[in-house]
Structure 1
Amino acid sequence: MAFFYGKNKFQLLAKVQDDLEVLLTLPGQALMSMTSLLIRLNCWPCLPGYDEVPVRREVCRTYYTPISKEWSLISLKYLSMWTAVFTRLANFIQPGRLSFTFIGDTKGFRVAQDICSSIKLLPCLKTCNIRLGRSPDYELNKIARQTAQQQTGKLIGAQPFRFIHLPQELRQHILSFTHLGPDAGFDSQYKNIAIVKNRIQVRCHSFAVPWKCCWHCNDTKSNCCCPVARAAVSEGCLCRRIPAELFCVSKQMKAEAEYAFFSLNCFDFNMDMDIRDVVSFLTNRWSKKNLRSIRQIRFVFNDDQVWAWEEMRPAWRKVVELIEQDFNIESLCLIINTEQSYDTCLWMRDDDSLRYVYDAYCQIALELHILHGLRDLHLEFPWFRKLEVLLEKKIMGDDYDSSVGRKRRKRVSFGSVSELPHWHAAAWGKIMRDHDGASDD
């Protein structure tokens, strides 16, 4: 019995009061041996890893499932049983042994407190993950966080740490280990900051995939309790959650948090955003001080933008001019990505179409010639890999190599895709003559 209950992970899915009785009937030896327990109470969420809202529906399939409410008779009935269950668990569970997860959607401060008061009857837990709501809620988050910290022995003392009295360099170093920076322990897919439809979003690198559970927010890897999307607390969650509270502490803390956020991250202006809207976003949303703090920025050109390059070129020129005027060029790494056009090029059979893509790649890069002193430039042109090196040297100088030293290593080209076409020499010569002539003017 001890081996069975100690090596397995147990989930109790309770919808009515009687479903909790199994914990009152289990032998005490079984409870003493248990190492992992998840209780899901009046909560029947979508399967983790799937879209929250299915196609052609306004809400999740389980949106109308009853939740815990102060005025609900069902809630009052199972809460009385709830206390009895945890009183018994407290008598048998070994301190520091159990990984406990509670998943339950509540509505109301009082009922959330009643649920967490019973959880506090348990001895010290190995890990404690609590979800009290389907969407973020500050008050519910606070209750869940305090309960989890108390049950794992990590409750913060009454006296706050005097962070502001530390030297500025040390404060900035500490802030880099929060989710303001890119290396704070969250999943690498959330590393970049995406600009999607004129809003900052922390999401995976594919941009097209909606937010999904990280599958690490509780010990059983089921029933999402990621704090970024729920009124929950989870010690093992790998999602990235920008600590917006730091921007509201004081003017000094706001300035230091903004500097850490803008200087440590790579900002992706991706295919969901029209290149013509980039200038208005940068000038209206961010101050010039924040723009000068940016150290890495990435522009992703989608297939439509490459094919309509003649229309997009004036807008791209304005973006480059803004970068020259308002960014700290000497500290900036600029990344240009056109990988989405790769699939389209696979179906091209005529040189004219490939030549149009070739010209667009060259013109995208050559607009950067006004950025004198740029720290780093990385061009990602999937169909003409060798063209990347030629254009980088044209902009940065003949001695520049983006794969050397601390700079990012370039991916190895494969097959004939990286080879330049037979008409490259003539095309390159014409483009360079036109570019040099325009530069002289």
Structure 2
Amino acid sequence: MTSLSIYLNVVEKDEWGGEVFGPDSFPYCHEMCFVSKMDRAFRKERHWDETVSVKEWQRLCKILRPNIKPNRLKLFLTCDVADIELSDEFLQPLLQTPTLQLRECSIRLASGFLKPGNTGYHTPGSLQELAALARLNVQQAAEQLATNRSTQSFFRYGDLPKEIRFQILEHTELVSPFDLAWTSNQPEALAYQPHKSQFYEHRTFQYGTYGPAICCQKCSPRTDACACFLRHGAFSTTCTCWTMPTHFFLVDHQMKDDAENGRRYLRSLSLDHVSGQDVYHLPDSRGMEQWQECLSIINDEMNPRQLSLTIDLGFDKSSVYYSYGGDYKFVPDICYTREAEKVWTVGKVLADSLVGHVQLKNLFFHFMWPFEDHEEGIPTDRGLVLEKMVMGENYESTDRGKNERRHRWNGYQCDKDEGCPVCS
């Protein structure tokens, strides 16, 4: 036996309560995630079938321990608990002496899909606590924790030459494997979406421009439940999901300075505009104040002459429909036009702030709907007007890969009907 999946929770529709994310609003990455929203999390008031499950799990561990070769078995354990103190009961059989020496291991102790009101719901703090507990036990089971550490093996990072320090950082999580998008997620939006940050979203999903990121899908088999540490109270030795490595800023002053100096190596930066926030970047707004701070960082801490800046003011028709109407209500065409003109006004304000203040390598403006003005059936990219206004009349963004970059960046939703020049 080389692989084993254990799912201890019981599906019982009569037991679950409260709303959960549906498939239309939350992209499930594993097959069991959609079904597991109706699972009954283990509670102190034990049901008879839960008692049987625990006893069978304990018995299974006793059978596996003497019969499984070391570093051979891949074990994937899912046991969602409603009470944190119950987690030790399920983890103890796995770590009894002699410990199972697993090749790979993932443990999930709580689901992050549930909304407040569900009996299995956990706050972000509770999920993080369970994720840390799962991580400790997974690393022990997979023997990833060093038992005998000698102080002689440590070295002073700050004593290394700058060139070597930077080469070390290139192989750390300080380098994101994909694009990051700045976001201003509100605290209430983070209450039941622990995978989101208050400051950024990483774009790994294919379902649209805005929404939660799908996990790497390597934390557990696709047919199992997700064990991503960013979304659940879970941890896996095979998970490759990325999170902002804030610990690099806390080691010492030298490490913090080196990490912050990484800004000068940025070659691409994007600004997304969400429909419905049309006043966010208008003069005297908080958004414009933050935008001016961003321009100061670009000039003072980055290399703007090597930077490609993308300002995406795109929105699709469906977002306007649900903002103004929804539920099969008729939305007049004037609403779509009005929204487009508001966004166009925001674009001109942003372009004005760039003129004479920042010298960029490339500048790309995007407008999705209406993506273009039609003159005698010939589409005209509205963004070209603002690009030439900032970069000069001879600037041609299309020749510099404007549309190919936008189409290739997996955070965008391309739609022929919305005017994507690559899809059309």
Q: TM-score range, shorter-chain basis?
A: 0.5 to 0.7
**Could you give the per-residue CA deviations for residues 121-169 of structure 1, whole angstroms, max 9, x where no partner exists?**
4521111111122236333222222222222232145568546344443
User: How far is 1:175 from its partner?
Assistant: 2.5
Aligned with 1:270 (options 245, 249, 272): 272
Distance in 1 (alpha carbons) for counterparts of 2:248 and 2:295: 17
Distance in 2 (alpha carbons) for counterparts of 1:320 and 1:159: 54
How does 1:48-63 map onto structure 2 within 5 Å? Answer: 53-54=21-22
Aligned with 2:233 (options 222, 228, 231): 231
Question: Cα distance 1:180–1:267, how it changes in 2: closer, same or farther (>3 A)?
Answer: farther
Distance in 2 (alpha carbons) for counterparts of 1:318 and 1:78: 65
Aligned with 2:134 (options 141, 144, 153): 144
Distance in 1 (alpha carbons) for counterparts of 2:314 and 2:241: 27
Query: For residue 120 of structure 2, what is the aligned residue in structure 1?
Result: none
Query: For residue 42 of structure 1, what is the aligned residue in structure 2?
Result: 9
3-state DSSP of counterpart to 1:38: strand
Question: Cα distance 1:339–1:363, how it changes in 2: closer, same or farther (>3 A)?
Answer: closer
Distance in 1 (alpha carbons) for counterparts of 2:343 and 2:222: 49
Q: Is the 8 A contact 1:192 1:268 kept in 2?
A: no
Give ranges in structure 2 of 5+ residues lacking alignment: 13-18, 27-33, 113-123, 186-198, 316-336, 409-419
Distance in 2 (alpha carbons) for counterparts of 1:80 and 1:284: 59
Question: Cα distance 1:151–1:129, how it changes in 2: closer, same or farther (>3 A)?
Answer: same
> What TM-score do the two structures reach when normalised by structure 2?
0.62
Q: Which moved more, 1:225-234 or 1:154-163?
A: 154-163
User: How far is 1:90 from its partner?
Assistant: 0.8
Distance in 1 (alpha carbons) for counterparts of 2:24 and 2:176: 36
How does 1:402-413 map onto structure 2 within 5 Å? Answer: 402=400
Q: Is the 8 A contact 2:181 2:200 kept in 1?
A: yes
How does 1:111-260 map onto structure 2 within 5 Å? Answer: 111-121=86-96, 122-135=99-112, 137-157=127-147, 158=149, 161-162=154-155, 164-165=157-158, 166-183=160-177, 191-197=178-184, 199-204=199-204, 206-260=208-262
User: How far is 1:100 from its partner?
Assistant: 0.8
User: How far is 1:194 from its partner?
Assistant: 1.0
Query: For residue 115 of structure 2, what is the aligned residue in structure 1?
Result: none
Query: For residue 105 of structure 1, what is the aligned residue in structure 2?
Result: 80
**Could you give the per-residue CA deviations for residues 93-123 of structure 1, whole angstroms, max 9, x where no partner exists?**
1212111111122345542233222222452
Distance in 1 (alpha carbons) for counterparts of 2:10 and 2:296: 44
Question: Cα distance 1:367–1:116, how it changes in 2: closer, same or farther (>3 A)?
Answer: farther
Q: Is the 8 A contact 2:230 2:241 kept in 1?
A: yes
**Could you give the per-residue CA deviations for residues 409-432 of structure 1, whole angstroms, max 9, x where no partner exists?**
999xxxxx99xxxxxxxxxxxxxx
User: How far is 1:354 from its partner?
Assistant: 5.3
Q: Which moved more, 1:117-126 or 1:315-324?
A: 315-324
Question: Cα distance 1:134–1:314, how it changes in 2: closer, same or farther (>3 A)?
Answer: same
Question: Cα distance 1:215–1:204, how it changes in 2: closer, same or farther (>3 A)?
Answer: closer
CA RMSD of aligned residues (A): 4.5
Distance in 2 (alpha carbons) for counterparts of 1:156 and 1:129: 19
Question: Cα distance 1:393–1:89, how it changes in 2: closer, same or farther (>3 A)?
Answer: closer
Q: Is the 8 A contact 1:43 1:65 kept in 2?
A: yes
Query: For residue 312 of structure 2, what is the aligned residue in structure 1?
Result: 300
**Paired letter, 1:72:** E
Q: Is the 8 A contact 1:148 1:233 kept in 2?
A: yes
Distance in 1 (alpha carbons) for counterparts of 2:83 and 2:351: 53
Query: For residue 392 of structure 1, what is the aligned residue in structure 2?
Result: 396
Question: Cα distance 1:130–1:299, how it changes in 2: closer, same or farther (>3 A)?
Answer: same
Distance in 2 (alpha carbons) for counterparts of 1:171 and 1:52: 46
Distance in 2 (alpha carbons) for counterparts of 1:256 and 1:214: 28
**Paired letter, 1:106:** V
Question: Cα distance 1:77–1:285, how it changes in 2: closer, same or farther (>3 A)?
Answer: farther
Q: Is the 8 A contact 1:320 1:367 kept in 2?
A: no
Q: Is the 8 A contact 1:268 1:298 kept in 2?
A: yes
Question: Cα distance 1:316–1:337, how it changes in 2: closer, same or farther (>3 A)?
Answer: closer
3-state DSSP of counterpart to 1:106: coil
3-state DSSP of counterpart to 2:106: strand
Q: Is the 8 A contact 1:98 1:126 kept in 2?
A: yes
3-state DSSP of counterpart to 2:75: strand
Q: Percent identity?
A: 21
Aligned with 2:40 (options 66, 90, 94): 66
Give ranges in structure 1 of 5+ residues lacking alignment: 1-33, 46-50, 184-190, 371-386, 395-400, 412-416, 419-441
Q: Is the 8 A contact 2:363 2:391 kept in 1?
A: no
**Could you give the per-residue CA deviations for residues 314-334 of structure 1, whole angstroms, max 9, x where no partner exists?**
41234415962xxxx5xx654
3-state DSSP of counterpart to 1:87: helix
Q: How many residues align?
A: 328
**Which structure has the highest helix share of the two?**
1
Q: Is the 8 A contact 2:365 2:387 kept in 1?
A: no
Query: For residue 384 of structure 2, what is the aligned residue in structure 1?
Result: 362
Q: Is the 8 A contact 2:363 2:397 kept in 1?
A: no
**Could you give the per-residue CA deviations for residues 183-206 of structure 1, whole angstroms, max 9, x where no partner exists?**
4xxxxxxx1111234642112364
Distance in 2 (alpha carbons) for counterparts of 1:182 and 1:312: 30
Give 1 or 2 for the bigger CA radius of gyration. 1
Query: For residue 83 of structure 1, what is the aligned residue in structure 2?
Result: 58
Which of the pair has the greater relative contact order for Cα pairs under 8 Å at 6+ separation? 2
Distance in 2 (alpha carbons) for counterparts of 1:220 and 1:164: 40
